[in-house]
Amino acid sequence: MNTEIKSGDSVRVKPGVKDPDYEYDLSGWQGRVTHIDTDDGIYIEIAWDSVTLDQMPAEFIETCMDEGFDYYLMWLSENEVDLTEPRDQQQAVDEKINALNERFGYISPEEQHQYILQILDSDDLSISKENLSRFFNYLSEHIKYPCLLTGMEDFSWEEPYLLGVFDQEEYEKLKKKRASYTDQFTLVKLEDRIDDLQGILVKVKRISDKKVFVLPLWDLKTVDRKDRNCQIIENYCHWMTNYR
C-alpha cells in the first residue's frame, strides 16, 4: 500500500493502465489527488492537470459528456499511479476546463438546473402533465430543423440481445424493422400526444431506409454535440431522468 499519497499530491498513471469504463489507455496521464476512498481498498479521485487535458482525445471527452461523466476527473486504484511533481498551476487547469467546456458544449448539472427552472418557470420541477406540456411548448418553439438524432443508449427491446440472452441473428433481422439506438434519424416533428411514462414523443425518419418511427425524445440525443439543438434536448433528457 502506498501510504504516502494524500489529497493535493500530484500523481502520474502507470504504463498500461486503462480507463475502467471505456478502456482508453491512460499511460502517463497526470493530475492532482482530490479525494481518497478507503471503504473497499484504496481508491483516489484524480483531477487531470492542464497538460493532460490539452492532450486528451476528443472522442474520450465526448464519450464522457454523452454518458454523464466528468471528463476532467477519474477514480483509480492507488496501485495504478505513482507520485510525481506538479507541472502546472490550478489556474491553468481551470482555464483549460473552461475552454474545453465551451468547445464541446458542456453544461454542468447546476447550469442545467437553472435552465430547467427558466423553461418551466416554476419552483415545482417534478415530472407532471403540466410541466411536460410546458417543456413541449418550449421545444416546439426552439428546436431548429434539420435536426439529426441517434439513440442515447440501447432501446429497451434491444437489451436482451445485447446482453447475449437472445439470438443475434434474430436481432439483426429485427433491426431492419425496428428502430435501433445505433440508427441515425432526421426529426420530422414533435407528436401532439404526450405519454405519461415516456414523456414527449417525436416522429423521426431513419436515414438509411427512410422508415418512419415514433420514439420517446427521452431516448435520443443529437448526433453532433455542436448541433444547435444539442443543449435543449440534453436539458429535457436530464430533467426526465433526474426529476421523477
Same domain, 72 and 43: yes
What pLDDT is stored for residue 110 in this prediction?
86
Residue 182 lies in a domain: yes
Task: Name the band, by pLDDT with cuts 50, 70 and 90, for residue 1.
Answer: very low
Q: What range does the domain containing 36 cover?
A: 10-104
Task: Name the band, by pLDDT with cuts 50, 70 and 90, for residue 115.
Answer: very high
Same domain, 132 and 199: yes
Tell me the whole-structure pTM to 2 decimals: 0.76
Same domain, 124 and 203: yes
Residue 128 lies in a domain: yes
Residue 5 lies in a domain: no
Q: Residue 109: pLDDT above 90?
A: no
The strand pairing partners of 149, in sequence order, are 185, 222
Residue 2 lies in a domain: no
- Mean pLDDT across the chain, nearest whole number? 94
Query: Residues with Cβ < 8 Å from 40, sequence gap 6 or more?
Result: none
Give the domain-ending residue among 104, 120, 137. 104
Same domain, 92 and 159: no
Same domain, 95 and 147: no
Lowest mean pLDDT among 21-25, 64-68, 212-216: 64-68
State what percent of residues in the chain have pLDDT above 70.
Answer: 99
Residue 180 lies in a domain: yes
**How far apart are alpha carbons 97 and 93 in whole angstroms?**
6
Task: Name the band, by pLDDT with cuts 50, 70 and 90, for residue 225.
Answer: confident
**Residue of 168, 115, 169, 172 whose CA lies nearest to 138:** 115
